[in-house]
Chain A
Amino acid sequence: MMAALYVVYVLIGLSLFFALAGVVGMLRMPDAFCRMQSSTNIATLGVLGVIIGGIIYSFVFLHNGEMGVKLIVLGVFYIVTVPISGHAIAKGAYHHGVRPEKDMVCDQYGEDLEK
C-alpha cells in the first residue's frame, strides 16, 4: 500500500521536473520555434506522469472509479490533441512570418510553398 503511494509521488515528481524544464526552456530559449518545442515538453511528459499517478491513486486509495475513468479520458485527449495543436501553431507561425533567429541551413517547407 505504501509502495503504491511512493510510486504515485515519484510519478508526479517526475512530471513536475519535466514541467519545470519546459517552463525554463520557454523563458530562456532564443526564438519562437525553440519555445514551441519546449512547450510540447510541458504538454506531453509534464501531463502523463500526473495522469498515470492520478489513475493509480484514485483506483487504489480513493476507491473511486469515476475519477479514474475521467482521468483516462483526459490523458487520451491530451495524447491525441497536443501534436495536432503544436503542428498547427508552428505552421501558422511560419505563414505569419516568424523565422528562426539564426539563418536556416535549409528551408524545405518554404521550398514546398513556392512550388
Chain B
Amino acid sequence: MTTLLFFAICFAVLALCLIIRLVKGPSVADRAVAADSIDILSDMALVLYALYSGRAAFLDIALVTAILGFVGQTLIAKYLEGRL
C-alpha cells in the first residue's frame, strides 16, 4: 500500500526537522532529548517501511535501535548527574 510509504516519508521528514534542535540546543540535555526523539521517529519510519515491504527484518533493526536509544539516553543522564 502506497499510503504506508507516504506516512513513513512524513515521519522521516519530522525526524529531519528535529536536527535543527540538535544543532541549536543550548544545553546538553536538549541535545540528548532531541537525539532520542530522532531515534524514535526514524524507528517509526522503519516500522512503516517494514509494513509496506512485508519484510520482518526491518522490525529487528527498529527493536535494536530502540534498545540502543534507551541505553544511550539513560547513560547520558547518569553522566550529567555526576554519578558515572
Q: Do A and B originate from a single complex?
A: yes
Please give the residue numbers on chain A whose beta carbons come within 8 Å of chain B beta carbons, in ascending order: 5, 9, 12-13, 15-16, 19-20, 22-23, 26-27, 32, 35-36, 39, 42-43, 46-47, 50-51, 54, 57-58, 62, 64, 66-67, 70-71, 73-74, 77-78, 81, 84-85, 88-93, 95-96, 98
Interface of A is mostly: helix
Interface residue ranges of B1-26 to A (CB < 8 Å): 1, 3-4, 7, 10-11, 14, 17-18, 20-21, 26
Q: How far is the CB of B76 from chain A (nearest CB, A)?
A: 7
Q: Are A89 and B60 in contact (CB under 8 A)?
A: no
Q: Given A35-B21, A92-B81 in contact, is the A98-B37 Cβ separation under 8 Å?
A: no
Q: Are B70 and A81 in contact (CB under 8 A)?
A: yes
Find chain A residues with CB under 8 A from B80 CB: 89, 92-93, 95-96
Name A88's contact: one of B34, B37, B74 (CB within 8 Å). Answer: B74
Find chain B residues with CB under 8 A from A66 CB: 56
Per the bound structure, the CA–CA distance linking A51 and B50 in Å amounts to: 12
Q: Given A32-B29, A32-B30, A42-B37 in contact, is the A85-B62 Cβ separation under 8 Å?
A: no
Per the bound structure, the CA–CA distance linking A36 and B74 in Å amounts to: 14
Name A35's contact: one of B10, B30, B43 (CB within 8 Å). Answer: B30
Question: Contact flags (1/0) for B55-84 with A, using CB distance below 8 Å?
Answer: 010011011001100100110111111100
Q: Are B66 and A26 in contact (CB under 8 A)?
A: no
Name B73's contact: one of A12, A22, A88 (CB within 8 Å). Answer: A88
Per the bound structure, the CA–CA distance linking A20 and B27 in Å amounts to: 23
Find chain A residues with CB under 8 A from B74 CB: 84-85, 88
